[in-house]
Structure 1
Amino acid sequence: MHRFSSKAAKIWQPGLLAPGATPCNKMRSSMPAVSTLLVRLFALFFACNTVATFAHAAAADNGTANKMYADELMSLALAHMRANAQTAPERRIELDKGNMDARLNMPRCQTPLHFEPQRHNGRGERLLVKTSCLDQKRWSVYVPLQYREYARAVVSQRPIARGTTLGPEDIAVKEIPVHKTGGNFLPSVEQALGMLATRNISAGAALQRNALKAPLLVRRGDQVVIVAKSGPVAVRMNGTALSAGSANQQIRVKNVRSQRVIKARVTGAGVVEALM
């Protein structure tokens, strides 16, 4: 037989337990109270944790509200530039948000922001706008925007070979992005008609000034007419061109009768005007 300890013996002494009761029955009777206590402790823990979470979220929201992030800065700069950007009447500008580190943030400005666009050379698609806060604690940041400028320009309608004298069938006017030409283009057909291509030009390309030159109206050795003007009186005489020239260029000419060499300006094919 197993021996019980003195405490165990006491438990089993008559009179200490109700008739038919055992120690296990007594423990079972106390379980509801323990369960209730655990539930209350868990509810208290959950409530505290929820309060802490909301407090942290509120602090985070408050911190975000006190900052201006990259996207907001770009939106404000873009709105300002769209409302205030100026360009020539024959040109058109397109603006959009640029690329900026989304993590960048600045203290929220309590006064209206000041925007100062930086000079654009017309060759790139990026415009920097200096954005400044003029609060007591001032700050500035350069905000990038996408910048595209368009203008009407003369383009080739078909491939043009070097040495071709341009006619109406060779060219047309079309809107082009200025940054792709570096600003080197012709805005009107009149500036291109009759010009000589100095290199091959592909179809659809914008005609650039350095790809054209005025055709020669006088060649060296040509017999020319020299026109000498004095007020309303004009005298014509024969001469020989000592150098070649295109319209409005200055060349040297020899007077056939006097053999005198003078300076003259080319005014037409085989015609020069003496410079007094």
Structure 2
Amino acid sequence: MTVKKLIFSPLLLLLLLAAGLTPAPARGAAVITLGPGELEEIFAAIIAKESVWPREELSISGFSAFPESVQVPAGILDYRLENRPEPSRPGRQSLQVTLLVNGREQERVRLSANLQRLGEVVVTARRINRGEVIGPDDLLVLRREVSMLDPSFIAEPGLAVGKQPRTTLQAGAIVYGNLLENPPLVRRGDRVNIVAGNGRILVSAPGEVRDTGAQGDLVRVRNLMSRQEIQARVVDSATVETTF
């Protein structure tokens, strides 16, 4: 069950007289039966309120309650948590809850369910070999459980397009940011323009790259005018920059 958008307040104030539930006779007083469905709604509301995850990313399954149903007087329902929940930890969650009606204690229930986090994940649409530049058509976006994934997983295709994997990715593989790198813009032997400055003066000279490097990488470059070798940062395939 995916957590629903709930119409009651964060404190779970339910006007049971208007809830449409079936009253049970109890010495002339109106009594409301809260069954598994209503108790699951209470569990979902508590988790949604306590979790740091966005509500639309929460998923609940395998709900159980002990007892399975309770009877309480008609009135305004609230609750008090008797244990400290960990609703942002995936897996089985158990809550000890005391139900209150019009501020008075009524019943204590144990509510349990499996908690998962759902989100968008970028996966490969085909096999992508190591060092191959990733294009827009090479990726798909799927919605799946992400609570157990390494946090470096990519949710936006634009973060992977134009990069290359450090290892071969099979079709359907989840794309992780730590497995991607920028493609090299310069390689050993490439001729580039060395731009050097100190904030006031800007000079340039022809150079020859001695390493392979991507945008932003520091590479060794030989100044063809002075014959000296320097460290410079790759700007693009034709330019490196340094300071003096």
Report the TM-score when normalising by structure 1.
0.56
In structure 2, relative to structure 1, the CA distance for the partners of 1:272 and 1:99 (3 Å cut) is: same
Q: Distance in 2 between matches of 1:256 and 1:155?
A: 45
CA contact (8 A) 2:51 2:88 kept: no
Q: Distance in 1 between matches of 2:238 and 2:109?
A: 63
What is the CA distance between 1:153 and its match in structure 2?
A: 3.0
Number of the residue aligned with 2:58: 94
In structure 2, relative to structure 1, the CA distance for the partners of 1:131 and 1:229 (3 Å cut) is: farther
What is the CA distance between 1:197 and its match in structure 2?
A: 2.2
Report the TM-score when normalising by structure 2.
0.62
CA contact (8 A) 2:195 2:239 kept: yes
Please say if 1:156 is aligned against 2:140: no
What is the CA distance between 1:166 and its match in structure 2?
A: 0.8
Where do residues 36-75 of structure 1 align in structure 2 (5 Å cutoff)?
none
Number of the residue aligned with 1:217: 185
Q: Distance in 1 between matches of 2:209 and 2:53?
A: 46
Q: Distance in 1 between matches of 2:227 and 2:202?
A: 20
Letter in 2 for 1:214: N
Q: Which of the numbers 44, 63, 67 marks the counterpart of 1:78?
A: 44
In structure 2, relative to structure 1, the CA distance for the partners of 1:126 and 1:210 (3 Å cut) is: farther
Identity among equivalent positions (%) equals 27
In structure 2, relative to structure 1, the CA distance for the partners of 1:117 and 1:268 (3 Å cut) is: farther
Letter in 2 for 1:93: E
Q: Which of the numbers 206, 210, 228 marks the counterpart of 1:260?
A: 228
Query: Over residues 170-229 of structure 1, what are the superposed CA-to-partner deviations in whole Å (9 max), with x where a residue is unaligned?
Result: 123333321353333222222111211223323233211233221111223433221123
Q: Which range moves more in the overlay, 70-79 or 164-173?
A: 70-79
Higher RCO (C-alpha under 8 Å, 6+ residues apart): 2
How many residue pairs get aligned? The number is 209
Number of the residue aligned with 1:237: 205
Q: Which of the numbers 205, 211, 221 marks the counterpart of 2:173?
A: 205
Number of the residue aligned with 1:65: none
CA contact (8 A) 1:130 1:142 kept: yes
SS in 2 for 1:174: strand
The structure carrying a bigger helix percent of its residues is 1
SS in 1 for 2:137: coil
Q: Which of the numbers 162, 176, 197 marks the counterpart of 1:194?
A: 162
CA contact (8 A) 1:71 1:102 kept: no
Q: Distance in 1 between matches of 2:95 and 2:200?
A: 59
